[in-house]
Structure 1
């Protein structure tokens, strides 16, 4: 049991190193073809052991971002956008970065949804909202999370912009994975914002873009 806990801790530390290194690469600190710092320097920078650094490098090398050259060092092999799907890119990003982009995405989705929603969209949103309500009464976290995702993806579909809808689905599932990975499976988070979700649905149905946008901003500020 102790060994398993230590392994999980080491894996989480490696994930943190992966995210930080990738952020540095994306922001241009390390450029394609350049050599990254040696293991001892990385160990000192991140305050972790050699095995953690090696696991992080192995992860980045497996995606084609880093290239390990025996006897020479580790180099930037290619920019992430050349080798990764959006889903993979999001999963190794910081939650704040994901939410920053999600904020911009949702504001446009809300604007379009309040103008373009149809009777069919309204029925789909209401069904998801009803399921969300029922799951809260049953204290069923998984059912509530599923209904919450269906509600938000229904809103995205109501924008009638297929690109935005597909992008939003990826963001939503990634954010849920973030919370599950961090052990945040707490249904009280859904309960605390249920009234806002009811108001958001009503605002879209009533084509009240201003109210819908304000509600969305409140939800996003609280990472919901």
Structure 2
């Protein structure tokens, strides 16, 4: 179970950085171009294209969240342009949707988060594997005449034995904490993704529930009045 969890978390954070780089590289230049050309009206259709592109990256992230958690990840309901709308309103429909801007925001802020959640676990895995196997490959490294002051400070002398002992200790500590680091990195990235890409679904669902419950209360409230009027007519 732990190994499977580690594998899912590692795959999520490891693949997250390339996707974040591609998404950021595609979206940010288009946003800048949209702002720069909005005065000549080319920027509006270009901004729509940018938002649709950000939506595509958001859908990819929702698939990754489902693979990470093993649970269904709801997709917000994007309003579709109706057939009766004019051409300009159909083009600008994504601009008027709040989730489109959340998708765009995620494509921008995801990059620095993905860098942290990629680098930190990679460093921890490197310390784990490198430290635990230093006894084997450390002897092949050229040492020269220079002494390692860090080894001398910690171990008292810079010898092959002391280096192997110290790096093995580092590897053991990294091994004992790699699960926490890997799990925390995946959780951080997933929390940001869920907050920007799925929270609107809960709001939409609450609004539908309130609307449904309100309609049900209205029906129940009107039912006694109808029966009462019927009873009155029967008595007469």
**TM > 0.5 between the two?**
no
- Greater relative contact order (Cα < 8 A, sep 6+): 2
Query: Which has the greater radius of gyration?
Result: 2
Greater helix share, 1 or 2?
A: 2
